Amino acid sequence: MPSKFRHVALFGKYQAPAGSADALAARQTLDEIAQFLTARGCRVTLERDSATHTDLTQYPTLTVPEIGRHCDLGLVVGGDGTMLGIGRQLASDGVPLIGINQGRLGFVTDIPLDAYAATLAPMLEGAYEEDHRSLIQGRVMRDGECVFDALAMNDVVVNRGTTAGMVELRVEIDGHFVSNQRADGLIVATPTGSTAYALSAGGPLLHPSIPGWVLVPIAPHTLSNRPIVVANAAEITIEVVAGRGASANFDMQSMASLLHGDRITVRRSQHHVRFLHPKGWSYFDTLRKKLHWNEGGS
């Protein structure tokens, strides 16, 4: 059957130095997948930086914004970090994304590289599960003005500085005072981000269908400061009260050197990321595999 998707954009992981064994392997992988897509009637375009860094010149290229306007599917070959960056950029265009795992964990790039052909073939014909992931719209407000604005798919993290000592944070939800927290920091994570930094800091796992955020203190001074789940319709405000050198991180995007009185606001973005998974995909299967839970039983 011909592919349901006519124009497919291919994204690669290209952090390896040019000419290295990793770079050559990335080039070979992208070229092989591009040929696979072409054989199924897809028009293939490479994301421009992926093409440049892998020296693949035989395919047309587009920038990420151009892909958002012209392509009807994005195929990301890499790890979760690669997918996070592409997902944030394409969310407003509604382009669905499929992830082929060339990284380590692969919570959202969930198709094994060595099984991509058998897995992708039915998906291209329309046999897939669609999974929508919420995004955080985060801002740093200083004296009433926005000095930093970014989307995050995983989390917003307010961290203490590199010097010894904690940071003191005032937390409000929908304008209501919740707590003053003295800790190494505070994480506001989406369900997607609940398997990232929030998990290592002791936070709960949130199923992607849950419309919520999880607030996870990092090494809190008061042990009764526990993770809490709140509705993602709420606006969360974190004010820096005390502590030196604090910073805010929006996924991998940073706003360093927060000042006392800076307010980090977190709200649900109007956009979401569309992931496509193989037919029969289950979030719990992903957790069991990636977190090495006991796979016994009937």
Of 206, 36, 30, 10, the C-alpha closest to 117 is: 36
Dmax over CA atoms of the chain, in Å, equals 62
* Marked catalytic residue, from 31, 80, 184, 262: 80
Helix, strand, or coil (residue 133): strand
Task: Please measure the distance between the N-terminal and C-terminal CA atoms of the chain and give it in whole angstroms.
Answer: 36
Buried b (16+ CB within 10 A) or exposed e, 49-79: ebbebbebeebebbebeebbeebbbbbbbbb
What values do phi and psi take at 260, rounded to 5?
-60, 135
Residue 240, token pair as written in the block: 């820096």
Evaluate whether 231 touches 268 at the Cβ level (below 8 Å).
no
Q: Which distant-in-sequence residues (6+ apart) come within 8 Å of 282 by Cβ?
A: none
Alpha carbon dihedral 192, 196, 201, 205, in 10-degree steps, equals: 40
Of 28, 209, 1, 249, the C-alpha closest to 123 is: 1
80 an active-site residue?
yes
Residues noted as catalytic: 80
